[in-house]
A and B are shown apart, each in its own frame.
Chain A
Amino acid sequence: MKFQKRTIGLIIYFILLLLPIYWMLNMSLRTNADILSVFSFYPQEPTIDNYLKIFTDKSWYSGYLNSIYYVSMNVVISLLTALPAAYAFSRYSFLGDKHLFFWLLTNRMAPPAVFLLPFFQLYSTFGLIDTHFAVALSHCLFNVPLAVWILEGFMSGIPREIDEMAYIDGYSFPRFFLTIFTPLIRTGIGVTAFFCFMFSWVELLLARTLTTTAAKPIAATMTRTVSASGLDWGLLAAAGILTIVPGALVIYFVRNHLAKGFALGRV
């Protein structure tokens, strides 16, 4: 009996959870006229016109490309800077290391809007506005500290003796780091990359403000569908579905290690 109750509870929970997503999928397969005229739980005359428009219209698909481009750039920059930093925090003690480590995390506690104006001013000066690099760099503000914290947790789980063993065997530091150490924390690197991807992918404020046309993210493009003739419901829903897909794909690859990532690598 208990088992059945739990099953029913879970089914209700999942229906509530998936309903908005299903509704978006439903809408994305219908025309605007259909959406506005008939109430239906499933598309009666399914059409993929909305998706075709996104894939063929450059102003639409370039939004996706821009987003993917700066997000990948940000993941690479975050990992490249966080790996050595996390190693230093995990293996060495130096003056103020604990304070610096905590200060990193406090960067995550301020809303990005606080940094918006200085970023805009600074990037304008350097002519970086409307480049992918500008967005990737600004997202490092919250991704690098997070990456350092997660990687530090994973690295501290590797016994220090392995490092010493490698030095005794005669490994140089770069060689040890690349051939011995990195394979040991590859789960951590994967999880970190996921978190960087996720936060950079969903961030809208900085991405929209620092770009105009050439590096405009998809989330900003989506606001374009509001026009004098009202909302383009079907197109917007299709764009929404396509925005979920990359995140879902990435989650699939790190699904077994996510919990450890949320615990910042400390379990």
Chain B
Amino acid sequence: MAMVIQNVSKRVANECHIDDISLQLEPGTFNVLLGRTLSGKTSLMRLLAGLDKPTQGRILMNGRDLTGVPVRKRDVAMVYQQFINYPSMSVYQNIASPLRLAKVAAAEIDRKVREVAEMLRIDNLLERLPVELSGGQQQRTAIARALVKDAELLLLDEPLVNLDYKLREELRAEMREIFKRRDSIVVYATTEPPEALALGGNTAVLYEGRLEQFGPTVEVYQHPQTSRIAQAFSDPAMNIVAGTVDAGSLRLGEARQVPLQQHLRGLAPGNYRFGMRANHLQLQRNSAADIEFQTSIGLAEISGSETFVHVVHNGDAWTVQQPGIHQYQLDQQLQVYVDPARLYVFDLTDQLVVSPDNASRQLT
């Protein structure tokens, strides 16, 4: 049995927040809602939780219609982006509060609270008040309170966003472990593609209140149905170039014609849009088949141990992801190479025609 969302829409003051979304979420699965800010992630979560009522459509849980049922009568737990705990209660009382309300026996409450606190490594902080904790510990408390309830639906609305970088990495790594052995439906909203990939499970890509694609995370990553999804689900965004296929040869942008190979061989003549991931763009030739572009440098941005080189080719702005730290001159001419075997092909209506078969390659 599962949670079924049927043609759900939400409009607030003539503004469409959720536009006709249908989804089926299975118990024991981890589901990521991926989308930019204002794409409707939080709105959808609030509908799932029952905090808001959909304007249209129905939400069913195990075949039972939950649409009008108030949140108090539902079996749901939620973690907010802000660290929301009861400020006047200790960490222990915070975690125990859902169990106390469910009238669980005191010994059982104590056992469960200590177990979940240990899992989230806050077992030494149980007597403190939330204000006496760091941001990461506060969010761990909030997660512990959501977990201890063992609800059939567990919602996490960008739980790591307000944490600093190191804490986020740390908690994200633990997140997988924490949610692995649960029978509940877990829904996790995030804006960050790496987070979705790290957490695995299923991914639903949202764009302006619409559901663009839903499926296993790796499949959505490898076979994005539109270039919009591909751009949303890669960081930095996928680079797009217009190209023409003509009698067995391919011409991308201003580059020289190359013969069609491998997965591109079946393409009918015509105009297409080609997608290239930033990490697939190279600054040196790796094989004779590589396509060479003349570009000029707009900006080189150093991000950790990587450099994002923003280049312009024929009016299109691209990003090249380079390992290591490099310095570049503005407006310097630069040759950029791409392996045709790595190209994603979209038609002019933006539908995926063919994607590189990454199955045997490393997912990066």
Assembly CA distance A164 to B97 (angstroms): 14
- Chain A residues in 8 Å Cβ range of B77: 168
Q: In the complex the two chains form, is A161's CB within 8 Å of B82's CB?
A: yes
Q: In the complex the two chains form, is A169's CB within 8 Å of B51's CB?
A: no
Q: In the complex the two chains form, is A161's CB within 8 Å of B84's CB?
A: yes
Assembly CA distance A169 to B93 (angstroms): 13
**A122 close to B (CB within 8 Å):** no
Q: Which residue from chain B places its CB closest to the CB of A183 in the assembled complex?
A: B88
**B76 close to A (CB within 8 Å):** yes
Interface centre among A162, A166, A167, A184 (most CB of B within 10 A): A167
Indicate which residue in B51, B87, B101 contacts A164 across the interface (CB closer than 8 Å).
B51
Q: In the complex the two chains form, is A169's CB within 8 Å of B98's CB?
A: yes
Q: Which residue from chain A places its CB closest to the CB of B145 in the assembled complex?
A: A169
**A248 close to B (CB within 8 Å):** no
Q: In the complex the two chains form, is B71's CB within 8 Å of A167's CB?
A: yes
Assembly CA distance A168 to B155 (angstroms): 11
If A164-B51, A168-B77, A170-B72 touch, whether A184 touches B101 (CB-CB below 8 Å) is no
Closest CB-CB distance, B131 to chain A, in whole Å?
A: 12
Taking chain A's interface residues, is the majority helix, strand, or loop, or is none over half, making it mixed? helix
Q: Which residue from chain A places its CB closest to the CB of B46 in the assembled complex?
A: A164
Q: In the complex the two chains form, is A167's CB within 8 Å of B72's CB?
A: yes
Q: In the complex the two chains form, is A159's CB within 8 Å of B82's CB?
A: yes
Chain B contact-residue range equals 20 to 34
Q: How many A-B residue pairs have CB under 8 A?
A: 42
Q: In the complex the two chains form, is B72's CB within 8 Å of A180's CB?
A: no
Total number of A residues with any Cβ neighbor in B under 8 Å? 15
Indicate which residue in B72, B76, B84, B145 contacts A162 across the interface (CB closer than 8 Å).
B84
- Chain A residues in 8 Å Cβ range of B97: 169
B228-260 toward A: CB 8 Å interface, digit per residue (1/0)?
A: 000000000000000000000000000000000
- Chain B residues in 8 Å Cβ range of A256: none
**B102 close to A (CB within 8 Å):** yes
**A36 close to B (CB within 8 Å):** no
Q: In the complex the two chains form, is A168's CB within 8 Å of B49's CB?
A: yes
Interface centre among A159, A166, A167, A170 (most CB of B within 10 A): A170
Q: In the complex the two chains form, is A162's CB within 8 Å of B86's CB?
A: yes
Q: In the complex the two chains form, is B88's CB within 8 Å of A168's CB?
A: no
Q: In the complex the two chains form, is B78's CB within 8 Å of A165's CB?
A: yes
Indicate which residue in B71, B87, B102 contacts A168 across the interface (CB closer than 8 Å).
B71
**B179 close to A (CB within 8 Å):** no
Assembly CA distance A162 to B84 (angstroms): 6
Indicate which residue in A161, A167, A184 contacts B87 across the interface (CB closer than 8 Å).
A184
Q: Which residue from chain A places its CB closest to the CB of B71 in the assembled complex?
A: A167
Q: In the complex the two chains form, is A169's CB within 8 Å of B149's CB?
A: yes
Q: Which residue from chain A places its CB closest to the CB of B80 in the assembled complex?
A: A161
- Chain B residues in 8 Å Cβ range of A183: 88
- Chain A residues in 8 Å Cβ range of B86: 162, 165-166, 180
- Chain B residues in 8 Å Cβ range of A168: 49, 51, 71, 76-78
Q: List 11 A-B contacts (CB under 8 A).
A: A161-B80, A161-B82, A165-B80, A165-B86, A168-B51, A168-B77, A169-B145, A170-B102, A171-B101, A180-B86, A184-B87
Chain B positions near chain A (C-beta within 8 angstroms): 49, 51, 70-72, 76-78, 80, 82, 84, 86-88, 97-98, 101-102, 145, 149
